[in-house]
Amino acid sequence: MSRFYILLWLRWALRLTLCSIFFAALFSFLVTVLIYFSRGLPELTPEITDALFDIFRFWFPVLWSFTILLALFRGLKHIFNNCINGFELKLLTCDGNNIVEVIGYGDLVKVWRKWFMLLIWLVGSIMIFALIYTNLFTSYSGLFEWFNIYWLYGFILFSGYFSFIILSSKCKKIKIVTC
């Protein structure tokens, strides 16, 4: 069973990473192009190219914060009905008797809210341990000296593994079946 959770987590983490980074890069590129067009299409000198790259680098972490949320919601749909190591997660209807075979995003709202709150609590717990560690063993004096979206993303990935284990055992709308 632990291999099932590891493989499920790896598929989820890969999908989350690819989707969130792709959309953040796409939206950052669009913002950069929009700014470039709004300035009247100046000639691409090395200074202009460096400035456009700086604009892209500025907007990427900002937009990645939003695309992570989008990828978290979209990625939950893809953990169901996939046979992994002889097991699969099934989403049950509201009455708990029937299995939802074709899962739409509307079917996931209640499960996603529970899972998202669980993920928030797990990430918050890890952040507390990370803050204790940094105060005791590093020269950093506060959270915002080292904390950024990249650390948060690592905490989300780490918490995701444990959230699948807890969610499948606590949520009555999710059932693990053999396949």
Check residue 125 and give its pLDDT: 96
Check residue 54 and give its pLDDT: 97
Question: 3-class DSSP state for residue 142?
Answer: coil
For the chain, 179 residues long, the average pLDDT of each consecutive 10-residue run is 91 96 97 95 93 96 94 91 88 80 86 93 94 86 80 94 90 86
SS in 3 state form for 19-32? HHHHHHHHHHHHHH
Check residue 175 and give its pLDDT: 86
Check residue 99 and give its pLDDT: 85
Q: 53 Cβ partners below 8 Å, 6+ apart?
A: none
Is the entire prediction scored with pTM above 0.75? yes
